[in-house]
Structure 1
Amino acid sequence: MKLKHNFITTIVALGICLLLTSCGDEPKPKPEAFLRLDYNMGDYATYNNNCPYIFDYNTLAAVKDKGNCNFTIQYPKMKATIFLTYKPVNNNINLLLRDAEKLTYDHVIKADDISSQPFLNPANKVYGMFSQVGGDAATNAQFYVTDSTRHFLTGSMYFYAKPNFDSVMPAAAYIKEDMRTIMESLRWK
Protein backbone atom coordinates (compact mmCIF):
# COMPACT_ATOMS: atom_id res chain seq x y z
CA MET A 1 0.00 0.00 0.00
CA LYS A 2 2.86 2.33 0.84
CA LEU A 3 4.42 1.44 -2.54
CA LYS A 4 1.15 2.33 -4.31
CA HIS A 5 1.01 5.69 -2.45
CA ASN A 6 4.65 6.51 -3.36
CA PHE A 7 3.97 5.57 -6.99
CA ILE A 8 0.93 7.90 -7.21
CA THR A 9 2.83 10.72 -5.47
CA THR A 10 5.72 10.27 -7.90
CA ILE A 11 3.37 10.32 -10.93
CA VAL A 12 1.63 13.49 -9.68
CA ALA A 13 4.98 15.21 -8.97
CA LEU A 14 6.29 14.20 -12.38
CA GLY A 15 3.09 15.50 -14.04
CA ILE A 16 3.42 18.85 -12.26
CA CYS A 17 7.09 19.12 -13.31
CA LEU A 18 6.16 18.37 -16.92
CA LEU A 19 3.42 21.00 -16.88
CA LEU A 20 5.73 23.63 -15.42
CA THR A 21 8.61 22.92 -17.78
CA SER A 22 6.59 22.34 -20.98
CA CYS A 23 5.58 26.01 -21.21
CA GLY A 24 9.16 27.25 -21.16
CA ASP A 25 8.89 29.89 -23.95
CA GLU A 26 9.07 33.36 -22.58
CA PRO A 27 6.22 35.63 -23.66
CA LYS A 28 7.12 37.95 -26.52
CA PRO A 29 5.52 41.32 -27.19
CA LYS A 30 3.28 41.53 -30.24
CA PRO A 31 4.56 43.64 -33.13
CA GLU A 32 3.03 47.08 -33.60
CA ALA A 33 -0.06 47.06 -35.78
CA PHE A 34 -2.33 49.64 -37.30
CA LEU A 35 -6.10 49.82 -37.17
CA ARG A 36 -8.00 48.44 -40.11
CA LEU A 37 -9.88 51.37 -41.54
CA ASP A 38 -12.81 50.93 -43.90
CA TYR A 39 -14.61 53.89 -45.39
CA ASN A 40 -18.13 54.11 -46.77
CA MET A 41 -18.46 54.59 -50.49
CA GLY A 42 -19.89 58.01 -51.15
CA ASP A 43 -22.26 59.24 -53.77
CA TYR A 44 -20.95 61.66 -56.36
CA ALA A 45 -22.49 64.99 -57.27
CA THR A 46 -21.47 67.63 -59.79
CA TYR A 47 -19.92 70.80 -58.40
CA ASN A 48 -20.82 73.75 -60.58
CA ASN A 49 -20.40 77.44 -59.81
CA ASN A 50 -19.08 80.53 -61.63
CA CYS A 51 -15.68 78.97 -62.39
CA PRO A 52 -14.70 77.84 -65.89
CA TYR A 53 -14.84 74.16 -64.96
CA ILE A 54 -17.14 71.63 -63.29
CA PHE A 55 -16.30 68.30 -61.66
CA ASP A 56 -17.85 65.44 -59.71
CA TYR A 57 -16.98 65.09 -56.02
CA ASN A 58 -17.69 62.65 -53.20
CA THR A 59 -20.65 63.95 -51.19
CA LEU A 60 -19.07 62.59 -47.98
CA ALA A 61 -16.44 65.34 -48.35
CA ALA A 62 -16.94 69.08 -47.93
CA VAL A 63 -16.08 71.41 -50.82
CA LYS A 64 -14.89 74.85 -49.71
CA ASP A 65 -14.48 77.75 -52.13
CA LYS A 66 -11.16 79.53 -51.49
CA GLY A 67 -11.71 82.22 -54.15
CA ASN A 68 -10.26 82.64 -57.64
CA CYS A 69 -11.69 79.21 -58.60
CA ASN A 70 -9.49 77.43 -56.03
CA PHE A 71 -11.12 74.85 -53.78
CA THR A 72 -10.40 72.50 -50.92
CA ILE A 73 -12.22 69.22 -50.59
CA GLN A 74 -12.01 68.22 -46.95
CA TYR A 75 -12.29 64.75 -45.43
CA PRO A 76 -12.56 65.48 -41.67
CA LYS A 77 -12.78 61.82 -40.57
CA MET A 78 -9.59 61.03 -42.49
CA LYS A 79 -7.89 64.30 -41.57
CA ALA A 80 -7.11 64.95 -45.22
CA THR A 81 -7.72 67.58 -47.88
CA ILE A 82 -7.55 67.75 -51.65
CA PHE A 83 -6.37 71.16 -52.84
CA LEU A 84 -7.58 72.27 -56.29
CA THR A 85 -5.71 75.23 -57.77
CA TYR A 86 -6.85 76.88 -60.99
CA LYS A 87 -4.73 79.10 -63.23
CA PRO A 88 -5.66 80.57 -66.58
CA VAL A 89 -3.28 79.84 -69.44
CA ASN A 90 -1.79 83.04 -70.89
CA ASN A 91 0.89 81.81 -73.30
CA ASN A 92 2.56 80.19 -70.25
CA ILE A 93 1.57 76.53 -70.61
CA ASN A 94 5.20 75.37 -70.50
CA LEU A 95 5.78 77.21 -67.19
CA LEU A 96 2.55 75.79 -65.69
CA LEU A 97 3.49 72.25 -66.77
CA ARG A 98 7.01 72.65 -65.37
CA ASP A 99 5.62 73.94 -62.04
CA ALA A 100 3.17 71.03 -61.81
CA GLU A 101 5.93 68.48 -62.49
CA LYS A 102 8.22 70.25 -59.99
CA LEU A 103 5.50 70.01 -57.33
CA THR A 104 5.40 66.25 -57.84
CA TYR A 105 9.15 65.72 -57.89
CA ASP A 106 9.79 67.97 -54.87
CA HIS A 107 8.71 64.91 -52.85
CA VAL A 108 11.40 62.64 -54.30
CA ILE A 109 13.51 63.03 -51.12
CA LYS A 110 10.92 61.21 -48.97
CA ALA A 111 9.27 59.14 -51.70
CA ASP A 112 9.96 55.45 -52.24
CA ASP A 113 8.70 55.74 -55.80
CA ILE A 114 6.73 58.06 -58.06
CA SER A 115 4.56 56.71 -60.85
CA SER A 116 2.75 58.93 -63.31
CA GLN A 117 -0.04 58.05 -65.68
CA PRO A 118 -1.14 60.30 -68.56
CA PHE A 119 -4.82 61.20 -68.84
CA LEU A 120 -6.47 62.00 -72.17
CA ASN A 121 -10.10 62.97 -72.71
CA PRO A 122 -10.21 64.47 -76.23
CA ALA A 123 -14.03 64.69 -76.23
CA ASN A 124 -13.91 67.26 -73.40
CA LYS A 125 -10.44 68.62 -74.27
CA VAL A 126 -9.04 67.56 -70.90
CA TYR A 127 -5.43 66.37 -70.88
CA GLY A 128 -3.20 65.77 -67.89
CA MET A 129 -1.17 63.54 -65.63
CA PHE A 130 -2.02 61.63 -62.46
CA SER A 131 0.96 60.94 -60.18
CA GLN A 132 1.14 58.60 -57.20
CA VAL A 133 3.87 59.10 -54.63
CA GLY A 134 4.82 56.07 -52.54
CA GLY A 135 6.45 56.30 -49.12
CA ASP A 136 6.37 58.90 -46.36
CA ALA A 137 6.02 61.94 -48.63
CA ALA A 138 3.81 64.89 -47.70
CA THR A 139 1.41 64.09 -50.52
CA ASN A 140 0.44 60.66 -51.84
CA ALA A 141 -1.21 61.78 -55.07
CA GLN A 142 -1.29 64.76 -57.40
CA PHE A 143 -2.72 65.56 -60.79
CA TYR A 144 -2.93 68.32 -63.32
CA VAL A 145 -5.33 68.83 -66.20
CA THR A 146 -5.44 71.41 -68.96
CA ASP A 147 -6.99 72.16 -72.31
CA SER A 148 -3.55 73.55 -73.35
CA THR A 149 -4.90 76.94 -74.42
CA ARG A 150 -7.06 78.52 -71.70
CA HIS A 151 -7.31 76.45 -68.49
CA PHE A 152 -4.94 74.70 -66.06
CA LEU A 153 -5.94 72.92 -62.83
CA THR A 154 -3.80 71.07 -60.29
CA GLY A 155 -4.96 68.81 -57.49
CA SER A 156 -2.99 67.44 -54.55
CA MET A 157 -3.81 65.47 -51.42
CA TYR A 158 -2.41 66.26 -47.98
CA PHE A 159 -2.99 64.76 -44.54
CA TYR A 160 -2.98 66.79 -41.30
CA ALA A 161 -0.44 64.45 -39.75
CA LYS A 162 3.20 63.50 -40.05
CA PRO A 163 3.47 61.25 -43.09
CA ASN A 164 3.51 57.55 -42.24
CA PHE A 165 2.55 55.66 -45.37
CA ASP A 166 1.48 52.50 -43.55
CA SER A 167 -1.02 54.30 -41.35
CA VAL A 168 -2.52 56.59 -44.02
CA MET A 169 -2.57 53.99 -46.80
CA PRO A 170 -6.31 53.08 -46.51
CA ALA A 171 -7.37 56.73 -46.48
CA ALA A 172 -4.89 57.63 -49.24
CA ALA A 173 -6.23 54.85 -51.47
CA TYR A 174 -9.80 56.04 -50.89
CA ILE A 175 -9.00 59.67 -51.65
CA LYS A 176 -6.91 58.73 -54.72
CA GLU A 177 -10.05 57.22 -56.23
CA ASP A 178 -11.92 60.46 -55.51
CA MET A 179 -9.09 62.42 -57.15
CA ARG A 180 -9.34 60.20 -60.23
CA THR A 181 -13.09 60.85 -60.31
CA ILE A 182 -12.50 64.61 -60.14
CA MET A 183 -9.96 64.43 -62.95
CA GLU A 184 -11.97 62.09 -65.17
CA SER A 185 -15.25 63.99 -64.70
CA LEU A 186 -13.78 67.46 -65.19
CA ARG A 187 -15.30 69.53 -68.00
CA TRP A 188 -14.39 73.02 -69.13
CA LYS A 189 -17.21 75.53 -69.62
Structure 2
Amino acid sequence: MKRFLILFFLSSVLISCKEENLPKPKAFLALNYPEAVYSEYKPDCSYSFEINNLSRVAPARNNVSCWLNINYPLLDATVFITYQQVNNNIDSLLMDAQKLPLQHTIKADFIEGDVYTNEQNKTYGMFYEVDGDAASQAQFYVTDSVKHFITGSLYFNEKPNFDSIMLSCILS
Protein backbone atom coordinates (compact mmCIF):
# COMPACT_ATOMS: atom_id res chain seq x y z
CA MET A 1 0.00 0.00 0.00
CA LYS A 2 2.87 2.29 0.86
CA ARG A 3 4.39 1.70 -2.59
CA PHE A 4 1.09 2.47 -4.24
CA LEU A 5 0.81 5.82 -2.39
CA ILE A 6 4.39 6.81 -3.27
CA LEU A 7 3.87 5.84 -6.91
CA PHE A 8 0.54 7.70 -7.03
CA PHE A 9 2.09 10.79 -5.44
CA LEU A 10 5.08 10.84 -7.79
CA SER A 11 2.98 10.31 -10.89
CA SER A 12 0.52 13.04 -9.89
CA VAL A 13 3.41 15.47 -9.28
CA LEU A 14 4.99 14.68 -12.64
CA ILE A 15 1.73 14.93 -14.55
CA SER A 16 0.58 18.15 -12.88
CA CYS A 17 3.92 19.99 -13.34
CA LYS A 18 4.08 19.73 -17.12
CA GLU A 19 4.07 22.97 -19.05
CA GLU A 20 1.64 23.10 -21.89
CA ASN A 21 3.54 23.73 -25.12
CA LEU A 22 1.67 25.91 -27.54
CA PRO A 23 3.00 26.84 -30.97
CA LYS A 24 4.04 30.46 -31.29
CA PRO A 25 1.99 32.48 -33.75
CA LYS A 26 3.70 33.61 -36.95
CA ALA A 27 4.98 37.15 -36.79
CA PHE A 28 6.77 39.73 -38.88
CA LEU A 29 9.62 41.99 -37.92
CA ALA A 30 8.36 45.27 -36.54
CA LEU A 31 10.97 47.77 -37.70
CA ASN A 32 10.41 51.39 -36.80
CA TYR A 33 12.38 54.06 -38.63
CA PRO A 34 12.08 57.83 -38.61
CA GLU A 35 9.83 59.30 -41.26
CA ALA A 36 11.77 59.92 -44.46
CA VAL A 37 12.52 63.53 -45.37
CA TYR A 38 13.98 64.14 -48.81
CA SER A 39 15.95 66.97 -50.36
CA GLU A 40 17.36 67.42 -53.84
CA TYR A 41 20.98 66.36 -54.33
CA LYS A 42 22.83 67.95 -57.24
CA PRO A 43 26.31 66.58 -57.81
CA ASP A 44 28.55 68.29 -60.35
CA CYS A 45 27.28 65.83 -62.96
CA SER A 46 24.58 65.50 -65.60
CA TYR A 47 22.01 64.23 -63.12
CA SER A 48 20.34 65.06 -59.82
CA PHE A 49 18.01 63.17 -57.51
CA GLU A 50 16.17 63.36 -54.22
CA ILE A 51 17.94 61.84 -51.25
CA ASN A 52 16.91 60.91 -47.73
CA ASN A 53 18.30 63.44 -45.24
CA LEU A 54 19.56 60.60 -43.01
CA SER A 55 21.91 59.35 -45.74
CA ARG A 56 25.44 60.50 -46.51
CA VAL A 57 26.90 60.83 -50.03
CA ALA A 58 30.55 60.11 -50.71
CA PRO A 59 32.54 59.80 -53.92
CA ALA A 60 33.15 56.23 -55.04
CA ARG A 61 36.41 54.70 -53.85
CA ASN A 62 37.82 54.57 -57.37
CA ASN A 63 37.21 58.35 -57.74
CA VAL A 64 35.54 57.94 -61.14
CA SER A 65 33.76 61.17 -61.95
CA CYS A 66 30.03 61.09 -61.12
CA TRP A 67 30.17 57.69 -59.38
CA LEU A 68 28.74 57.96 -55.86
CA ASN A 69 28.19 55.89 -52.75
CA ILE A 70 25.06 56.75 -50.80
CA ASN A 71 25.52 55.48 -47.25
CA TYR A 72 22.59 54.79 -44.94
CA PRO A 73 24.15 54.52 -41.44
CA LEU A 74 20.86 53.60 -39.75
CA LEU A 75 20.51 50.56 -42.03
CA ASP A 76 24.25 49.89 -42.38
CA ALA A 77 23.74 49.86 -46.15
CA THR A 78 25.16 51.53 -49.24
CA VAL A 79 23.72 52.27 -52.67
CA PHE A 80 26.48 52.34 -55.28
CA ILE A 81 25.67 54.70 -58.17
CA THR A 82 27.57 54.62 -61.46
CA TYR A 83 27.14 57.06 -64.31
CA GLN A 84 28.29 56.67 -67.91
CA GLN A 85 27.71 58.72 -71.00
CA VAL A 86 26.04 57.02 -73.94
CA ASN A 87 28.29 57.19 -77.01
CA ASN A 88 26.76 54.80 -79.54
CA ASN A 89 27.24 52.06 -76.91
CA ILE A 90 23.73 51.74 -75.49
CA ASP A 91 23.57 48.03 -76.42
CA SER A 92 26.69 47.13 -74.43
CA LEU A 93 25.62 49.32 -71.48
CA LEU A 94 22.23 47.59 -71.39
CA MET A 95 23.80 44.13 -71.62
CA ASP A 96 26.20 44.90 -68.77
CA ALA A 97 23.43 46.36 -66.60
CA GLN A 98 21.20 43.33 -67.21
CA LYS A 99 24.04 40.88 -66.46
CA LEU A 100 24.74 42.34 -63.02
CA PRO A 101 21.57 41.06 -61.30
CA LEU A 102 21.96 37.69 -63.01
CA GLN A 103 25.32 37.19 -61.28
CA HIS A 104 23.29 36.61 -58.10
CA THR A 105 21.28 33.68 -59.52
CA ILE A 106 23.59 31.18 -57.80
CA LYS A 107 22.51 32.36 -54.34
CA ALA A 108 19.17 34.06 -55.05
CA ASP A 109 15.83 32.30 -54.72
CA PHE A 110 14.43 34.46 -57.49
CA ILE A 111 15.09 37.73 -59.28
CA GLU A 112 12.14 39.83 -60.31
CA GLY A 113 12.51 42.70 -62.77
CA ASP A 114 10.10 45.62 -63.09
CA VAL A 115 10.19 47.85 -66.15
CA TYR A 116 10.39 51.60 -65.58
CA THR A 117 9.05 53.92 -68.29
CA ASN A 118 8.64 57.69 -68.08
CA GLU A 119 7.43 58.86 -71.49
CA GLN A 120 7.22 62.49 -70.39
CA ASN A 121 10.95 62.67 -69.56
CA LYS A 122 11.89 59.99 -72.11
CA THR A 123 13.65 57.84 -69.51
CA TYR A 124 13.53 54.06 -69.29
CA GLY A 125 14.99 51.41 -67.05
CA MET A 126 14.61 48.31 -64.93
CA PHE A 127 14.45 47.65 -61.21
CA TYR A 128 15.57 44.19 -60.07
CA GLU A 129 14.53 42.79 -56.71
CA VAL A 130 16.81 39.95 -55.66
CA ASP A 131 15.24 37.62 -53.10
CA GLY A 132 17.25 35.10 -51.15
CA ASP A 133 20.77 34.66 -49.82
CA ALA A 134 22.37 37.07 -52.33
CA ALA A 135 24.86 39.89 -51.72
CA SER A 136 22.67 42.60 -53.28
CA GLN A 137 18.92 42.82 -52.67
CA ALA A 138 18.15 45.48 -55.28
CA GLN A 139 19.69 46.75 -58.50
CA PHE A 140 18.50 49.18 -61.15
CA TYR A 141 19.42 51.10 -64.24
CA VAL A 142 17.85 54.12 -65.92
CA THR A 143 18.73 55.82 -69.20
CA ASP A 144 17.50 58.30 -71.75
CA SER A 145 19.05 56.01 -74.43
CA VAL A 146 20.83 58.99 -76.01
CA LYS A 147 23.22 60.65 -73.53
CA HIS A 148 22.99 59.27 -69.98
CA PHE A 149 23.11 55.85 -68.32
CA ILE A 150 22.94 55.31 -64.53
CA THR A 151 23.11 52.04 -62.60
CA GLY A 152 22.65 51.43 -58.89
CA SER A 153 23.12 48.51 -56.50
CA LEU A 154 22.03 48.18 -52.88
CA TYR A 155 24.33 46.31 -50.49
CA PHE A 156 23.91 45.78 -46.76
CA ASN A 157 27.16 45.64 -44.78
CA GLU A 158 26.32 42.22 -43.39
CA LYS A 159 26.97 38.72 -44.59
CA PRO A 160 23.77 37.61 -46.34
CA ASN A 161 21.96 34.95 -44.34
CA PHE A 162 18.45 34.85 -45.71
CA ASP A 163 17.59 31.48 -44.10
CA SER A 164 18.33 32.78 -40.61
CA ILE A 165 16.20 35.86 -41.20
CA MET A 166 13.30 33.74 -42.44
CA LEU A 167 13.72 31.24 -39.60
CA SER A 168 13.65 33.97 -36.97
CA CYS A 169 10.51 35.44 -38.59
CA ILE A 170 8.79 32.06 -38.55
CA LEU A 171 9.82 31.26 -34.97
CA SER A 172 8.95 34.68 -33.55
Normalised by the length of structure 2, the TM-score is 0.78
Greater Rg by CA = 1
Deviation, 1:57, is 1.1
* C-alpha distance in 2 between matches for 1:36 and 1:19: 41
Counterpart residue type for residue 36 of structure 2: G
RMSD across aligned positions (CA) = 3.0
* C-alpha distance in 2 between matches for 1:58 and 1:165: 26
How many residue pairs were aligned? 156
Find out whether 1:43 has 2:43 as its counterpart: no
Normalised by the length of structure 1, the TM-score is 0.72
Deviation, 1:166, is 5.8
Deviation, 1:20, is 3.1
Structure with the higher helix share, 1 or 2: 1
Question: Matched residue of 1:141: which SS?
Answer: strand
Task: Give the alignment partner of residue 130 of structure 1, picking from 107, 127, 130.
Answer: 127
The change in CA–CA distance for 1:168 and 1:88 in structure 2 (over 3 A counts) is farther
**Equivalent residue, structure 2, for 1:56:** 50
Task: Give the alignment partner of residue 59 of structure 2, picking from 60, 65, 71.
Answer: 65
Segments of 5+ residues of structure 2 without an aligned counterpart are 167-172
Find out whether 1:146 has 2:143 as its counterpart: yes
Question: Matched residue of 2:33: which SS?
Answer: coil
Contact 1:34 1:167 in 2 (8 A): no
Segments of 5+ residues of structure 1 without an aligned counterpart are 1-10, 170-189
